[in-house]
Structures are given as structure tokens and as C-alpha cells.
Amino acid sequence: MDTYRLWVQAHPFLSAALQFGLLGTLGELVAASLRARRFTLPCTPLQLSAKVLAWALLGLVIKAGFVGMKGFTKALLDHHILPAFLGTGMGWAFALSTLTNVFFGPQMMLFHRLEDNLILGRRGFDGMAPAIRTLVWFWIPAHTLTFSLPVDFQVGLAALWSLALGVILGLASGSAAKQVTDDRPVPQPEHM
């Protein structure tokens, strides 16, 4: 762990880009494979290479966002806009996670969708509502844990959460597809 911590301290933005490039893309691969019930790519190999770069850029945005949201949360506490019990321990982690996901999360998700649209040659924001809902049921609890850790481990855990959410969504869509198939009526032979 010391080697990892020292690497993150020496290269905070490079480490964020590399971790998100690797783990975010891996989350997409796992989700696509779970949906297909076999190993599959979510797009062409060239597009996948571009997605690695998009996830890396997102890692830089997230690293900067974490830094900025910590300052924002501290300013709210300093000006007594937030209650003092949110200034330490799990209260701090919860406040920071909630504010990050409410004020930064939606814009970050829209930015990531724009990246995907450019890479895949798509338009529009279909399906963003369920993505935005993950801010409440997944990201606020996940980042409460993230922000309770020492700062050197926060971006790495955030990247791991991206992988975990890819697995969760892949399993959920895989079971939804299976349920649709299982709920279809079984064709009955016609009587003569």
C-alpha cells in the first residue's frame, strides 16, 4: 500500500487518469459481457481505445472535482451554512459525498455522455434519467465511504466504484433481459 500511496502522492492527476482509464473501461467491458452472457466488446476496438482515453479524461475531471468540492464543503462549514457535526468523521464524508453528487455529479455524467456520443457517433441523452438516479442510490453511499478514507486512496476507490457499478448494471440488465425472455408465454401447439 505504501508504494501505491507514494505513487498517487507523486502523480495525483496521472494516477487518476490511469486508474479511471483502466477500471472505467473494464467496467464497460464487464457490463457488456454480462448483458450478452459471453465476453464481448461494447463497441469496436478503435472506439474502445477512444473510450480508455475518455475514461482517463474523466479521471482528471473527477480528481479536480474532488479537490474543488472539498473546498466548497469546507467553505459552507466555515460560514455556518452546514451544521458543525458535518465537519468531521462520517459527517464530513456524508456531506462531501452528498454535495459532490448533487452539484458535480450530473454535469460530470453529461460530460461523460458527450464523450461517449462523440466516440460512438450518437446524439442525444436517452437513458440519462436512470444514470442520474444512481447518484442517490449508489454514488452518495459509495462516496461516503470513499471520503472517509485518507485522500491518497479516494480517487482509486472512486475508480473501483466505476467498475462495481458496471458489474451491477450489467447484472441488472442481464436479469431484466432474462426476465423478459422468461415471462414470454410458451407457444402452445395448435390443435387440429
* 88-104 tens-digit pLDDT: 999 999 999 999 999 99
Of residues 81, 101, 82, 102, the one with CA closest to residue 92: 82
Mean predicted confidence (pLDDT) in 101-115: 95
pLDDT of the residue at 185? 41
Contact, 33 vs 170, CB < 8 A? yes
The chain-wide mean pLDDT, for the chain, equals: 90
pLDDT of the residue at 174? 58
Q: Is 142 left (phi over 0), alpha (psi -120 to 50) or beta?
A: alpha
- Residue 123 domain flag: yes
The structural domain count of the chain equals 1
pLDDT at 189 over 80: no
pLDDT bracket for residue 1 (50, 70, 90):
confident
pLDDT bracket for residue 175 (50, 70, 90):
low
pLDDT of the residue at 82? 98
Q: Angle at CA 143, nearest 5°, toward 168 and 72? A: 145
Residue-level length of the chain: 192
pLDDT at 74 over 70: yes
Q: Take residue 72 and report the three cell numbers written for it.
A: 466548497
Cell numbers 466516440 label which residue? Answer: 119
pLDDT at 180 over 80: no
- Residue 70 domain flag: yes
pLDDT of the residue at 188? 39
Tell me which DSSP letter residue 149 carries.
S
Domain region containing 167: 48-172
Q: Indicate the pTM of the whole model.
A: 0.86
Of residues 108, 104, 109, the one with CA closest to residue 127: 109
pLDDT of the residue at 187? 38
Find the range with the poorest average confidence among 17-26, 91-100, 174-183: 174-183
Contact, 30 vs 72, CB < 8 A? no
Count of CA atoms in the C-beta half-sphere (13 A) of 117 = 13
